[in-house]
Amino acid sequence: MTDTPPRILGIDFGTTNSVVAHAADGESHLVPLQAPKGEDPVFRSALCFWEDDGIEVEAGPWAIAEYLDFPGGSRFIQSFKSVAASPVFEHATVFDKRYRFEELGRAFLDRMAARSGGALDGKAARIVVGRPVEYAGHRPDEALARQRYDAMFARLGAEIHYVYEPLGAAFSYASRITEPATVLVADFGGGTSDFSVVRIAAPGADRRCEPLGHAGVGIAGDRFDQRLIDHLVLPLLGAGGKYRSFDKILEIPRGYFADFGDWSRLALMRNRKTLAELEKLRHAALDPDAIGRMIAIIEEEQGYRLYDAVGRVKRDLSAAEEARFRFEGGGLSIEANVARKDFESWIAPDLARIEQAVDRALTAAATEAGAIDRVFLTGGTSLMPAIRRMFEVRFGGDKIATGGELTSIAHGLALIGEQPDIGAWAV
């Protein structure tokens, strides 16, 4: 590994995982990052804070390792990209210190750079950062997200460009084909599902990829995780239960559980105000033990273990018609069989909204479904059978292309960084 920084970097900063590639002479290569069990270009988008002679922080797989060694004395935060465009999110409180989004982001990039063997030292001449077509969250503020991203990524590059993530995947896919094609790129991440229709020319063309239209929706893997939480976990934590208010018996408001299934907000529930409100609710609840279990999960930092159990059963359901959900922590033990058909019924409304986003992308591109030559599926959530089936039914199984689900975007972003007319791709 050279000690000098790469000239061009492509950065796929993802809700679940992040990947960096560097480009030179028309080729891009992934940056290997140190992990506890060896090198890996895929770096978990997570942070772990703990107190020593001050507040210490680790990121990626190192954050997970620190948390697992000392869960009670640490703060574990993941999926924080989901709040990039949220005007409601102002800061995360960690051990009485407040961190703005850009401060969390800089801490993450600093620790990633420290694990890059020098590849991310200093500033690159140009960096190309992927961004979703539509940010996650309620009424996302794109200008706010850009401001936060600028502050976060300035430490890596003097010249920063932002490109739609599926367009990066299109450049990666173009390097694999030799015939012209009109391609629908479908990128399924943790927080968003994004779509681009791209016309790819034959190799040697002055402009290999021409974007025709884009669309996106703030629904993806994390939302599917929330559906599993809703059906398997929340009923044991008091959801649907009752509480006593003076002489009335009322249903516990769903608002108490809204943050619990959202990984970007679950860690932030461990604050004095929230825990005091939950303790008050516990005393009024007809089933106080259920609320006590929720408090224990929050206080004992069981978010990662819960997230991991949900992700594991979701992956298992991609390979089998039935899987076993297992979670134990915070005084709560859950084991339940989950059928794929039931899971797919829970996420059916989400799949319908994803398909509507595909419609919008085709409309924006003024392209009929029959004119699509290839559908390139990328992102970890694209491996779900229900997602693949959606595209097979609509476009035909022979048109589906896959590969590099976790790395294709970073590869393509680095290649875009070499384009002389980069402004044509940036947004």
What does the pLDDT profile of the chain (427 residues) look like in tens digits?
Answer: 445 545 799 999 999 999 999 998 888 999 999 999 999 999 999 999 999 888 999 999 999 999 988 887 888 998 899 999 999 999 988 888 999 999 999 999 999 999 999 999 888 889 999 999 999 888 999 999 999 999 999 989 879 999 999 999 999 999 999 999 999 999 999 999 999 999 999 988 888 899 999 999 999 999 999 999 999 989 989 999 999 998 899 999 888 888 887 766 777 788 888 899 999 999 999 999 999 999 988 888 888 888 899 999 999 999 999 999 999 987 788 899 999 999 999 999 999 999 999 999 999 999 999 999 999 999 999 999 999 999 999 999 999 999 999 999 999 999 999 998 888 888 8
pLDDT for position 4:
53
pLDDT for position 1:
46
Strand partners for 12: 19
What angle separates helix 348-364 from helix 385-395, to the nearest 10 degrees? 40
Phi, psi torsion values for 194, nearest 5 degrees: -125, 145
CA distance 113 to 107: 10
pLDDT for position 103:
97
Phi, psi torsion values for 2, nearest 5 degrees: -70, 150
pLDDT for position 302:
86
Regarding the domain delimited by 8-178+404-418, which CATH topology (the fold level of the hierarchy) does it fall under?
Nucleotidyltransferase; domain 5 (3.30.420)
Buried b (16+ CB within 10 A) or exposed e, 26-50: eebebbbbbbeeeebbbbbbbbbbb
Pairing type for strands 126-131 and 8-13 reads parallel
